[in-house]
Every structure is written in structure tokens, then in C-alpha cells.
Structure 1
């Protein structure tokens, strides 16, 4: 089969995005899995390739149809140069604006089926906001650009997969937002994503909100019974193997040893913390619920090491692999 076409957005040009893209796309295994087309800045990618000590032919193309896929070549839909004096590791409105435009173009390519999936390098929220685009991150931005009412963030590592009921909001707001309908819809999206990856009957562990999942009312104010249990009852009635509410401090241990195919976290840090301990180097962020496959690295712009050649490209390579795999199966 011909590998799928994947739009790879460069993210914030002041961060490690250009370096991890260059490292991942120059990997021989990548060409066997996907046909990546970078949406970004060709000159910044040339600089990144030199920084990581790799030989690369970075070629600006006018359209997806002009891309040629061969070893050592990186195809770039060049949306225009970043400022020549753009510093590595610093917040820049210009880089934030460019990062937004990379995503916008990738979403347009996906909408007209010019590409089969999107794989994103990290953007910087402060730079994005400084450019006037007030989105919490890629997940919400892509939902807006594709006209999708509700999506979920899934983190995938070799040892555990996690989907989040709430993400980029404060903890008090997250608890207030959680309700049975949202829990149910999140689990269903996660279930569809896991079955789409080849697991016919996934075992899904659903975390509680309070310590020890409330321990029968000892902690909290009955949030598990009112916000989570009704959703689980409806899901199980439909044949979805959703178990819980589980104490979060043991759910991830159980998933790591293979008891669950997916963990449902109630809020951002409940899911992100364990994942970053268990496998950030090969971790991938997947947006589920969009009309197009979208994966991303499971790390940020890493301004502290940007431009030094120290960035690890493994998460980007894995994100591209999963984008290609999921796009082919879609």
C-alpha cells in the first residue's frame, strides 16, 4: 500500500519543533510508514537540520502534488519566512502567528482530502495568544477550524493510553464541568479510537475524581455517584466494558501491567502526570472526535533547549507513525 500523506505542522519556530521534525523525517523508517509534507518554514528547517548535524535537502513545494518522496528530502509547503533574527527559546508573536497559520493550512488540506492525517509539532500558548489567537492549545484550535463541537485529548504511550474528560481548565472548573453526559461521550470517543486501532473489545478503566474514588462517600461530596456512575451504567448497558470509578493512584499501575487498554482521566494532571512518567519519550497526543486523524508529540516547545540540538525526536517519529497507521485504518 502507498503510505498515507500526512501534513506535519512545524509548530512554534522558536521551539524544538523544527529540530524534532528534521530528526524524525530524516529517519529511514519514516519513509516506509508515511509521506510527510511539512507545513512551515523551509529555511528554519534547513537551519534545524544543520543544528542536529544531519544532511538534508529541504525543498519548498507549491502544493501536495509537487512533493517528491525520497531519502534525505524534506518537502515543505513554505508559508513564508519567519523573521531572520527570530531567537531560539523566546516567546515571539511572529512565531505564534506562523504556528496558527501552519495549523490552518493543514486543516484546509485535510478538509479537501489532500492529506489523510495531521501530525503537529508543539506550539507555545503564550506566543499564540500574543498573536491574537486565544485558544488553549492545538486540541481546541483544531476543533474550531474543523467545526467540531466537542473533542477529547488522548495520550498514548507503549504502556498506557489515557483519554481526558477535561483538559485545559482550572481544577475547580474541571470538577464543576464534569457531568454524566460529558463522561459518557468521552468514554465513547475513547472506545471508538481504541477499537479503530485494532482492539475489538477494549477494557476501559474510569478514574474517580476524589482520592480513593471517594471511598464510599468518605472523601468529597458524592461526586463519583452523581457525575460518573450514571454514565458507566449507560455505557455498560450498551456493551462497553467501562469499569470504575477507580482510584486514580492505582488505575495507572493496573493499566501499566496490562489490565486496561484505556484509562479515562477526569482532569488534565490526573492523566498527564502518570503518562509523562511512564513514557513521554515515545508518547503521542491524539485528538479524538475530529473528522481527520491528528497526532502530536507529547511534549512542549522546550524553549530551554531549543536550537541546541539536544531535542529528542522519538516522540515526533512515533506521532508520525501513529498518524500514518490510524489514517490508513480510517
Structure 2
């Protein structure tokens, strides 16, 4: 029997905190991620580790045994970090400029500022509203240290030199039509109809161009709207159909999400500078804070009912990363 020690640490956090949601807050994960780790550990062991029948989640005898093992692993790791402290400790400090879209700024910026203030108080973050083309230019020129972009996996933009990328979330595409339209049974029915697309450089613009080419769809008129709020308003006004990420499509009240196939997926990428200096270290911790803020936002949206549908946490690889042979047969990763 091979046990993943990281899952034992998760089980120990559940035992200490008394539930999945409190453990998620302690570990900095989403509740669904903790639940998935627990389910995986139970499959590895072949035994139930928690009793879910009562009003409060309780560990079984096997669960208590493994949680105690996780506690010992955690204490050993903490001791190792303490012993390495004098050698590896380095205070991360200095300014870091973070570029992001208005959507990201509105939802993650304050969370990132609070996380950095708590974990790296000497880092001086500064947010700049920036889209894909202008953000990439500023990143190349050194005006930005970190950039969050909405991209299309199949046509992802190449990275500037000395820049690494991390995928925060991934979502499949859906074709959405106004609620008053008949639900199309095939893409051909939407040729000659008005469409709400996006600028050619944007992820949605590229996804729509690919869909239109594959399905031979020719719009009668192609409206351009990049911001999701504008797309939602145009759909509510019965202006045209649109290709949208599934997460946003599910939130719409006055539109119909169709089952028409759209290839590819939309990814949210964090691009950050690499290297050995203080600026690179500040960029790295800012990227870490963005990842944590994205998880916290997803968790809050799920708990409060602000998101329709489940948010699944899975490992997400950037298009620039090599995919190991064992992962090539796996289904596409879902949003985190």
C-alpha cells in the first residue's frame, strides 16, 4: 500500500480543525480540494476514514491512526524547516508591479494585498490595470513584474524571456444564445445570425474564430465586446450569440447555453519574472499570493452560492510546460 504523505497532512488538518471547511482555511486550499484529497486517501487505504452520518464529521479508528501519523510527519517537517532556517532564510522585499484585467482586479487584488501584508510585509505590491497586448509589452519592458492574462490554451501567447507562467484556472467553451432564440440543434443554424465576438487578440476572439472556421459559421454582423459585463448585457438585449467560458455562461439569467461543440479551453495565466535577485523573489511570492487568492475567491463563491455548478480542483499545466507521458491520456483539467 502506497500512501501519499501529503494526504496524511490533510487528514491531520481535518482532525485538528474538526471539518473540511476549517481544514481548507488552515491549509490554504478550497473545501473541494480537501474533500478530493480525503476521498483519494480513502481509496488508497480501502477503508472509510471519516464518519459522515452524524451532524458533525468524525474520524473513524483508521482515520485517527492515520491522522496521528500525519501529525508526526508535520512536526518532523516543521523541525526540518526550523533547522534550515539560518541557512535558507531570506527576507523578500521591495516593489512588485502586478498587471491584471479589471475583472481580476475587482475580485483578487484586495485579497492579494492582504495575503502579502501577512506573509511578506516588506514586499510593496502595486496593481496596474492591463489587458493582454499592453500587459505583455509592459512585461517585456520591465514595467511589470507579474501579469495575469486570460488566454486560449490552443493558441497561448509565447512567454517573454526570463518569464515563467502558471495556470490559475481553466474552463471549457460554450455557445450561448439569447433566451428568446430557438435552441439550435446544429452550428449551421447560427450562420447568418448576429454574433457577439471579441477582439482578435483576446482568448474569446480566438476561440470564436476557430469555432466559426471549423463549423463554417458566417455572422450577419459581428459585434465586438471584450468585457464579460458587456457580453452579458448584449445577450440580455437579444443582440446575438456568443462563445463564452462555461463558468460565466452558467451564471447568465437571460440566455440559453447550448450543447454545440467548441474546441479548446480558456485559461487564466499568471506570468512572472524569474531569476535570482530580489525583484524575482518578490514576483514569485506575488504569483503565489495570486494563486491563493484565486482559490479563496473560488471557495467563497461556492460557499455563498455565488457560483452555479461545482468548481473542481485539479493540477493545471501551462502550455509551455512539458506534459509527462502518464498525463497525456487524461481528460482536460477543470477550473480550480
Q: Give the TM-score normalised by structure 2.
A: 0.29
The higher relative CO (CA closer than 8 Å, separation ≥ 6) is in: 1
Q: Give the TM-score normalised by structure 1.
A: 0.30
